[in-house]
Amino acid sequence: MADKEIIHTSGDGGSSMAGVMVGLLVAAVVIIGAFFFISNGGFDRTATGPNVTIKAPATTGGGGGTSK
């Protein structure tokens, strides 16, 4: 019969815990990003500022232009 080598390993769970923490961190960033995206209206960026009306000065017919 062939000899069998038995390898005993003990996992401390450190690497799986790191994966869980990274997964939770990514999920939190996605959720917070989605919240800000929805609360700000997505890409609908309409400017809301003061209404400004520009009035040109009235001319009286004595302008300095030349006419042909």
Q: Which ranges of the chain have pLDDT less than 50?
A: none
Q: Which alpha helices (DSSP H) does 8-63 contain, by range?
A: 14-39
Cα Dmax for the chain: 119
User: Can you give the pLDDT at residue 42?
Assistant: 59
Regarding pTM above 0.85, the answer is no
